[in-house]
């Protein structure tokens, strides 16, 4: 087997073997050697080995599921971050329970996309950023990396500022926003090194934060006492009676807030790293039975994790606030409010007492702190994968933290804590625009037999995946258009037009490669994509008459 430095994949240029010319194509990726065999193994963030119990001929084993538990719950934290909290609040305030079915559908779509990410990590032994590094040319690869970094920065700003708002509420305004940002960034450095004490301890810490969120927001849900009949109707009846443009825009915002581009990269990296720790020398990724079993258990774990995150989001969506004695924050009428996480805490405190406000703030702090940590992991995996960095652990954390700290601090210093809704809308638009740069590559590479071998997407998954990605991207582009048209500025319109042309050209480039990978051969003029594995070309040629 070739070493990783040699690329572990076929040369991109045409080569000749046994007199047969092999075409230029996407590189085939061989499963990496076991961690014992590698001279310079990829430095994962998790070093504790996890034992896989033997279950004989059992179809399902809870003990085995526990061994594979971890990546799905860490991934699900992105579905619970402060950006999602604000989206949940706005949904409850503007449409009541009528858009809960949108939240349910978005979560199911997210689960299907996370399945693709997990399969890529298990089958190839590499995460999405590493595969992009190997498969795309230099210029598109760098552009793709910059786009994903923008998405991570936008998400990180929401998460860090969410923590800062929680600290502001808990201290009754004594801790200003900028100080809360500094505190959050500092304690994130500390918490990120918990994995040095063992994988299970790190997972336990994230599990604790998710439990805090469930208890906090569940307590508020019980206090509010929503109509359970209307809630179930809104969850399972895909209809929004008497809804207009405001509710439509909010429905689009829900999809944009739930499906986050950097989470696709994160999940493939977590699965790749943790599955490497589950392997023993005699079991590797060439064993189809073991790989199939790993895919099954990772999917079950992700389903459970996203079900928990969906319940927490439902708890938060049930808060539809009207009126308040705080006239400096809310209008003196019975109109629907522009609710954010700060105003939500204030209103809960007004109606249900200080305990409700503090419990709300604790839930926000848990959401912000956990998502900030996973966001930092995303930044490290993405930077290492795209740029092939091999830096020290501290240097990786410092660099990825520093990228987001400057814009976040500037917002915290110059923006008032009571008026952050506009910034949150802008960051949601920014992340919506980056969605194609995760969804298109993951569908492309999981559809290539040269990369996924027997685990490549079948026809049903190719068609359904293509439709889902097309719909999600169209929905989020609508969200972007609505936001831009509301700016009412000619110079901004002109700037947006120029950026849109460049943006659509790059998306079109990625979509072209994706369509060829999906089997649209008529578009295969000069593409590097071939659906036939390189290792099978010679065998097929020998069978020809």
- Cα 400 from Cα 410, distance rounded (Å): 17
d(CA 363, CA 84): 13
Q: Which residue has the higher pLDDT, 43 or 507?
A: 507
User: Is residue 325 pLDDT above 70, yes or no?
Assistant: no
The model's confidence at residue 155, banded by pLDDT at 50, 70 and 90, is confident
CA dihedral 283, 289, 295, 298 (to 10 degrees): -60
Query: Closest Cα partner for 87 from 253, 211, 260, 293?
Result: 253
Q: Can you state the angle between helices 261-278 and 138-170, rounded to 10 degrees?
A: 100
- For the ranges 19-23, 287-291, 329-333, 538-542, the maximum mean pLDDT occurs at 287-291
Element housing 21 (H / E): strand 20-22
Q: Which residues make beta-bridge pairs with 16?
A: 21
CB neighbours of 184 closer than 8 A, spacing ≥ 6? 160, 163, 164, 167, 368, 369, 372
Do 89 and 417 meet the contact criterion of CB atoms below 8 Å apart?
Answer: no
Instruction: Find out whether 364 and 342 touch, Cβ atoms under 8 Å.
Output: no
- What is the share, in percent, of the chain residues with pLDDT greater than 70? 77
- CA 106/CA 47 separation, integer angstroms: 34
The pLDDT of residue 338 is 62
Q: How deeply is 137 buried, as exposed, middle or buried, from its count of CB atoms within 10 A (0-12, 13-18, 19+)?
A: exposed
Q: Are 114 and 75 in contact (CB under 8 A)?
A: yes
The pLDDT score that the predictor gives to residue 486 is 77
For 4-26, what is the mean pLDDT?
38
pLDDT at 35 exceeding the cut of 60: no
The neighbouring-strand residues paired with 17 are: 20
Burial of 528 (0-12, 13-18, 19+ CB in 10 A): middle
- The yes-or-no verdict on residue 283 having pLDDT over 50 is no
d(CA 55, CA 302) in angstroms, rounded, equals 21
pLDDT value for 180: 87
Give me the domains of the chain, ranges plus CATH numbers.
Answer: 62-518 (1.20.1740.10)
Instruction: Estimate the crossing angle of helix 138-170 against helix 421-434, to 10 degrees.
Output: 150
- What does the DSSP assignment read for 397-412? HHHHHHHHHHHHHHHH
Of 120, 123, 125, whose CA–CA distance to 34 is shortest?
125
């Amino acid at each position: 087997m070739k070493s990783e430095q040699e690329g572990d994949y076929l040369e991109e240029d045409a080569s000749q073997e046994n007199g047969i010319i092999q075409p230029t194509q996407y590189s085939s990726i061989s499963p990496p050697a076991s961690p014992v065999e590698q001279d310079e193994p990829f430095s994962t963030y998790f070093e504790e080995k996890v034992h896989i119990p033997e279950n004989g001929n059992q179809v399902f084993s809870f003990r085995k599921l526990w061994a594979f538990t971890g990546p799905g719950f860490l991934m699900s934290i992105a579905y619970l971050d402060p950006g999602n909290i604000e989206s949940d609040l706005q949904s409850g305030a503007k449409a009541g329970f009528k858009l809960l079915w949108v939240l349910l559908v978005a979560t199911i779509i997210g689960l299907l996309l996370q399945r693709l990410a997990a399969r890529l990590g298990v089958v190839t032994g590499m995460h999405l950023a590493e595969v992009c590094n190997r498969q795309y040319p230099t210029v598109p690869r760098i552009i793709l990396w910059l786009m994903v970094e923008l998405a991570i920065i936008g998400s990180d700003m929401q998460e860090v500022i969410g923590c800062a708002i929680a600290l502001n509420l808990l201290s009754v305004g004594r801790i200003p926003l900028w100080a809360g940002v500094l505190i959050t960034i500092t304690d994130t450095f500390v918490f990120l090194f918990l994995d040095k004490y063992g994988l299970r301890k790190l997972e336990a810490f994230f599990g604790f934060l998710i439990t805090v969120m469930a208890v906090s927001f569940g307590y508020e849900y019980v206090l509010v006492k929503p109509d359970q009949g209307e809630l179930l109707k809104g969850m399972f009846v895909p209809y929004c009676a008497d809804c207009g443009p405001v509710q439509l825009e909010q429905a689009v915002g829900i999809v944009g807030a739930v499906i986050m581009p950097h989470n696709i990269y994160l999940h493939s990296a977590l699965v790749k790293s943790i599955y490497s720790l589950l392997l023993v020398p005699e079991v590797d990724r060439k064993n189809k039975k073991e790989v199939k079993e790993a895919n099954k258990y990772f999917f079950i774990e992700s389903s459970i994790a996203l079900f928990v995150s969906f319940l927490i989001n439902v708890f938060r969506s049930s808060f539809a606030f009207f009126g308040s004695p705080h006239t400096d924050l809310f209008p003196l009428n019975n109109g629907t409010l522009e609710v954010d996480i700060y105003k939500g805490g204030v209103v809960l405190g007004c109606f249900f007492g200080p305990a409700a406000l503090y419990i709300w703030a604790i839930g926000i702090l848990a959401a912000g702190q956990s998502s900030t940590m996973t966001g930092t992991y995303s930044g490290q995996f993405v930077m290492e994968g795209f740029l092939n960095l091999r830096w020290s652990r501290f240097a990786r954390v410092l660099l990825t933290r520093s990228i987001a700290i400057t814009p976040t601090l500037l917002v915290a210093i110059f923006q008032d804590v009571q008026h952050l809704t506009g910034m949150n809308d802008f960051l949601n638009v920014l992340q919506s625009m980056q969605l194609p740069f995760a969804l298109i590559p993951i569908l492309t590479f999981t559809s290539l037999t040269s990369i996924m071998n027997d685990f490549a997407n079948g026809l049903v998954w190719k068609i359904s995946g293509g439709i889902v990605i097309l719909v999600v991207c169209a929905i989020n582009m609508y969200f972007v258009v609505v936001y831009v048209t509301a700016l009412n500025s000619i110079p901004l319109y002109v700037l947006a037009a120029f950026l849109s042309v460049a943006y659509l050209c790059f998306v079109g480039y990625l979509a072209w490669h994706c369509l060829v990978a999906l089997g649209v051969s008529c578009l295969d003029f000069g593409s590097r994509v071939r659906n036939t594995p390189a290792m099978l070309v010679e065998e097929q040629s020998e069978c020809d008459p």
